[in-house]
Structure 1
Amino acid sequence: MTDLARPDRAEVLEMLAAFGQRAAEDVPDELGSLELTWLIAEFEQRYGIEADLDDEQFESVRTVDDAVAVFRAAVLAAAGPDAGPDAVADRPAETLADATGAPRS
């Protein structure tokens, strides 16, 4: 896993497209709970990382962008503290903290 910023929106849309057997451009932005459950399982299988969301975090993921933030936070957390703040450069730190449930600094 050389690119810690992944998965990106395009990859999440690709995963969701496979779930619904449709083109990525046909995937709606809003996620249902079944789609999200499948998406989490697909992410965990592809990346070998457990997303480990509690009920509140799971319920807060409503859109593709929410899922991207959660998955990027999981990748960053799995990379460890030495990954540095630039590992997920296009996500604000507060978004990552919210996604992982970690306290904000």
Structure 2
Amino acid sequence: MKLIAFLRAQIGFQGQENARRMGGKQRTVKNVWIYKIEPARNFMWVKGQVPGAEGSFVYIKDAVYKKPEISSLPFPTHFIPEGEDIDELEPLIADLGEVDPFMAAD
């Protein structure tokens, strides 16, 4: 009887998924909040999870499920005028109001 239980554990139990390779698939994280964009260094600060390995590419697009308020639509949209140097551009920072979400609470 012990031999049958041992073999069953090696094969896998009924309804149990087999171990598979993880990674290499597209992942979507919804409603990530963009805090700051620095065009001179090509940096973007976000509040939330960012999938992928360090140094990998991330595809960012507008929200689909939860549409933003109309008052906040222009940020972070910015088109660089022709002839303007990217290094001279000021960082775009979202209006946080009086409370900074990245600072620890007292």
Give your verdict on TM over 0.5.
no
Relative contact order: is structure 1 or structure 2 higher (C-alpha 8 Å, sep ≥ 6)? 1
Q: Which has the higher strand share?
A: 2
- Please say which structure displays the higher CA radius of gyration: 2
